[in-house]
């Protein structure tokens, strides 16, 4: 579980009454991709994830506050694409 979610849960929990079970998780958007850990570990360049997250952000209408969701969605999309092509062509090098 992500540490920021634990902090959010702890902040919303009542301070005087300890609860035996953890607080229910916040509602999750249905547009969230499957967990990244379920896909094989593939090294994806940071700039490719950044560019895809920007495309997703623009596609969604540039909403505020969804940067982490856009980033994880972009990473999941790229991992799926890279997994579908086990031997992709090498990335073109920029001329110096």
Write down the domain spans for the chain: 37-87
Distance CA 58, CA 31 (A): 15
Token digits of residue 72? 């994880």
pLDDT digits (tens, 9 = 90+) for 20-58: 666 666 665 666 666 555 555 678 889 999 999 999 999
Residue given tokens 């958007």 in the structure block: 29
Token digits of residue 85? 């092509």
Token digits of residue 21? 């079970």
pTM of the predicted structure, to 2 decimals: 0.48
Which of these, 32, 14, 33, 36, lies nearest to 23 by C-alpha position? Answer: 14
């Amino acid at each position: 579980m992500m540490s920021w979610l634990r902090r959010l849960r702890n902040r919303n929990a009542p301070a005087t009454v300890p609860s035996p079970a953890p607080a229910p998780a916040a509602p999750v958007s249905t547009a969230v991709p499957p967990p990244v850990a379920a896909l094989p570990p593939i090294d994806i360049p940071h700039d490719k994830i950044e560019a895809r997250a920007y495309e997703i952000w623009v596609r969604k209408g540039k909403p505020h506050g969804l940067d982490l969701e856009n980033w994880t969605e972009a990473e999941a999309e790229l991992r799926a694409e890279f997994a579908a092509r086990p031997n992709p062509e090498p990335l073109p090098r920029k001329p110096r």
